[in-house]
Structure 1
């Protein structure tokens, strides 16, 4: 499947393309969540983003950035820095409870 998953179109795990399944498909792609995480504090240029993502290959990074742009989660400004759209910031807020849960899970796993 080329490009970003689209709700209403078949995606991994759903022939009907249910919105949650399209979101899981997009966010489950290698580096997608990491890219979004690294943009949480504001715009980041390509090379800096690549370094923050443990030197992900430029090809993979470009592919993920294009998919996340197509999905409306980020955009590229005039200075070529990538940043979250309002929809991307909404996703960041939606992920905060998952972050809190994962920290509780990690603490309990260490007990």
Structure 2
């Protein structure tokens, strides 16, 4: 059942009416990282009941936060994407994630790290001043997860999946499980990664993406 309104003329109350239901923000996190099909979202959100996913997507569509589009070739079917209003939630999602990182405790072997959370971490740690005027692209691979970070004249585009064009540097992080962002950055700074491309771009990456409470 749809949550009743709070009967308050308040932006926070209205936001909670629209995106405060269980799983809604995690669906938005996934779509911030990459448009996805219904089956993609089921795979990326283990534990979400199919009826809940269907309901949340319908609610988010009705709220003008998510819309359906025909997938471009060679894919088939429908993909869910964020509208402009949905994309406007990025700063709030990143801020909540940064706050939540302080409540996580220590990483334990076996903990699942969603690739979409790594994409959000890239955006959270992006140093615009350091990247001013820079054009470069990276693809990060870790235990089956693939991320991309593309900087064009100082502007960042990042998400899950391969880079839209051939990346300047491919960075492969060793291990059998997707590690937390801070572990990826530690491996990069310590040189404990495999590279395909100019090694100097690894140092550039470490400078441009500066972890803070991730």
Fold agreement, TM-score > 0.5: yes
Determine which structure has more spread, i.e. the larger CA radius of gyration. Answer: 2
Cα separation, 2, equivalents of 1:104 and 1:38? 21
TM-score (norm 2): 0.42
Q: Give 2:67's aligned residue.
A: 75
Instruction: Give the unaligned 5+ runs of structure 2.
Output: 72-77, 106-214
Bigger helix fraction: 1
Q: Give 2:97's aligned residue.
A: 99
Bigger strand fraction: 2
Cα separation, 2, equivalents of 1:96 and 1:71? 21
Q: Which runs of 4+ in 1 moved over 6 A?
A: none
TM-score (norm 1): 0.75
Cα separation, 2, equivalents of 1:105 and 1:31? 19
Higher relative contact order (CA 8 A, sep 6+): 1
- Is 1:37 the counterpart of 2:29? The answer is yes
Q: Pairwise CA RMSD of aligned residues?
A: 2.3
**Residue-by-residue CA offset, 1:6-62 (whole Å, 9 max, x unaligned):** xxxx60xx2245332121133221110111111122210001101111142222111
